[in-house]
Structure 1
Amino acid sequence: MIQIQDRIMKLPIIQGGMGVGISLSSLAGHVAKCGAMGVISAAHPGYNYEGFRKNPVAINCQAIKDHIQRAKEIAKGNGLIGVNIMVASRDYEKFVKASVDGGCDAIISGAGLPLDLPKWAKGKTLLAPIVSSGKAARLIARVWDKRYQYTPDFVVIEGSEAGGHLGFKKEDLLAHTCQTLTEILSDVKKELKVWEEKYKKTIPVFVAGGIDSGKKIAELVKQGAAGVQIATPFIATYECDAAQEFKDMVIQCTEDDIELVTSPAGMPGRAIVNDFVKKTRQTGNICMKKCLECMIPCTPENTPYCISEALIQSVKGNVQNGLIFVGSQAARIHDMKHVEEVIQEYMEEMEENL
């Protein structure tokens, strides 16, 4: 049993938010139904709604609310439902407010430093920054304390083996000189101790990136983690919201198929090498037909490609013409499973090793 402030999770697992359209209400709801935290990605959850291209912001806000409601219906009162929101989103504030209005249990925020998250959601839902270092945890905690007299309700650490946008320099990732999860966990817990004492509350820390076994979960729990965040293994589940072609790419990929790419968001990311990735290497720029104006660092004049369009294409099944973000453990996934099976396997092995 994991307690995060006034909310309870039966299992120490958070399902990582995966956009576009990979973790919506089906995946998040079924994860929560098992007693864990299911997470909806706020990265274009309305991509398949009517009117999305004309008014993406309003449609995405409505989709966030819709998917929170559907996920909770699936969960039937079990677990928690969170929303993952990228700080790099141009309409970050609106997505935060939509998540709160939708009744989410938690907001998990990364792809940048969520320095003003409490401004719109303090006291309304659990708030958790995603960090990749003790330094980032210290900065966020200090700013939240100074500006909003608040401290994180829990923290998610994403290590160098995670999928999607990574909080490390590409050269460090390539040289394998990034801190290990264990090292980052130790640093973050030290940084949070002063705020736990000041606010008289425990700040649970969850770790993510390359969590491929229950044994690894047990090791991290022994080192002080409250639990883990797992994303990629949930792609190859029947309940995942992505197209089957997307899931098959994960099931069929090898270690040689997974490489680091540079995102228009200005951060490195880990993805499966397909025709799209090869094309970005060859041409440098892929023409954008219409900008969705979704990412702060991105401008149509100089972006190498539209990451939103690339993610939309892949999740719909056009897998050779889109981007497929995965974690380092993707090559070790070989078949389809139900969400319940994935969680059960992790938990049984964890309990054997505690």
Structure 2
Amino acid sequence: METEKFMVFPALHIGDFAARIPIIQGGMGVGISLSGLASAVANEGGIGVIAAAMIGIQEPDIHTNPQEANIRALTREIRTAKERTNGILGVNIMVALTDFSELVKTAIKEKIDIIFAGAGLPLDLPRYVNNSVHTKLAPIISSARAATLLCKKWLAKFDYLPDAFVVEGPLAGGHLGFKPQQIDDPNFALEKIVPEVIKAVKPFEQEKNQRIPIIAAGGIYTGEDICTFLQMGAAGVQMGTRFVATHECDADMAFKQAYLDAQEEDAIIITSPVGLPGRAIRNQFLDDVAQGKKIIFKCPYHCITTCDFHTAPYCIAVALANAQKGRLHQGFAFVGKNVHRIKEILSVKELIASLTEQMSSYLPELSA
């Protein structure tokens, strides 16, 4: 019988968790990464992530009691994911969410392994945990300056350092932590900011004798890309767009088909109602918005603190929820820069196997 060949890569350590494959599946809302996708990734040795943003959009009382609906849905998705896997699971919770605090408390209560917090600086996140809490904390940032600020603030106020940083570059999908003019500026490329963040956190690591793993995110597509950042000093990578094109992704097939059909020029930068630039697939809905057509809506959710629904041309929660259900004529899909490279839908198992095989070609000394 032929001996099966196992490929061994540097495990991704976040606190006392160790992912066998150094890949985090990015949290994608609204409803794109729920328990189905997250548990599938965790089962393959990566870190699966549930997106908390408007997670209760399908709940019957979302219009009348949005906070309770979101908490109920998050609780259910975490529990469902845990029933399907013994692997590592995370929750992505946007700082700008009006129910950020309650969602964090819920995730911790449900013993989620890691909270990833972006779309704003989570300056007070450690106040929710103590030494007995299972959950680790990983802010999502876009600069060394943000890393330094969070380390200083968390140390001074809570005597706590981040358990990891996700460093998201300008090629990512969804909302971006950059000014529009920075997105195509080489000075803000992921290859430049990852080493800057690694350097910035070193004094804090030395002060507390604690490693802060840096996770590279945004535009990472192949095993070669992963190896590039591992060799640069990153502990792992986060990938979102590639996991949309999987059978286990929680979005409707029409949403996934939009990824398959997208050409390079279709991935455009939009101005989101929440006050940040974002990358999405161009469609008629976005063309209408660009032409100044306003979609009349009420705001029952008040989901994002930075959204002024009086002036917003549309409700982003409704638009993203429509897209998740396949109603792309009433919404749009956020997407990473490399979406045009996707040509087929794979299983999560097939995708991770492909990525690890590619990695073995670029890190032969780490394969056995």
TM tier relative to shorter chain: over 0.9
Residue 72 of structure 1 corresponds to 82
Paired positions, count: 351
The question of 1:242 aligning with 2:242 is answered no
Is the CA contact 2:274–2:308 (under 8 Å) kept in the aligned structure 1?
A: no
- Structure 1 pair 143–284 and aligned structure 2 pair: CA distance change class (3 A): farther
Residue 114 of structure 2 corresponds to 106
Bigger mean CA deviation after superposition, 283-292 or 341-350: 283-292
Residue 58 of structure 1 corresponds to 68
**CA distance, structure 2, for counterparts of residue 273 and residue 30 of structure 1:** 29
Is the CA contact 1:5–1:201 (under 8 Å) kept in the aligned structure 2?
A: no
User: In the TM superposition, what are the counterparts of 1:1-354 in structure 2 within 5 Å?
Assistant: 1-75=11-85, 77-78=86-87, 80-123=88-131, 124=133, 125-173=135-183, 175-354=184-363
Letter in 2 for 1:112: G
Secondary structure at the aligned position of 2:343 is classed as coil
Letter in 2 for 1:97: K
Is the CA contact 1:86–1:110 (under 8 Å) kept in the aligned structure 2?
A: yes
Bigger mean CA deviation after superposition, 207-216 or 46-55: 46-55
CA deviation vs aligned residue, 1:127-170 (integer Å, no higher than 9, x gap):
01111110111111111111111110011010010000101101
Letter in 2 for 1:144: W
Bigger mean CA deviation after superposition, 118-127 or 62-71: 118-127
Deviation at 1:177, TM superposition (A): 4.0
Deviation at 1:323, TM superposition (A): 2.1
Is the CA contact 2:64–2:300 (under 8 Å) kept in the aligned structure 1?
A: no
Q: Which residues of structure 1 form unaligned runs of 5+?
A: none
Bigger mean CA deviation after superposition, 177-186 or 322-331: 177-186
Secondary structure at the aligned position of 2:360 is classed as helix
TM-score w.r.t. the length of structure 1 is 0.97
Letter in 2 for 1:121: V
Is the CA contact 1:25–1:40 (under 8 Å) kept in the aligned structure 2?
A: yes
Deviation at 1:284, TM superposition (A): 5.0
CA deviation vs aligned residue, 1:272-330 (integer Å, no higher than 9, x gap):
00111011111253211333101111122112221101101100110121021000111
Q: Which residues of structure 2 form unaligned runs of 5+?
A: 1-10, 364-368
Is the CA contact 2:182–2:188 (under 8 Å) kept in the aligned structure 1?
A: no
**CA distance, structure 2, for counterparts of residue 236 and residue 54 of structure 1:** 34
Kindly report the root-mean-square deviation, in angstroms, between the aligned alpha carbons of the 2 structures.
1.2
TM-score w.r.t. the length of structure 2 is 0.93
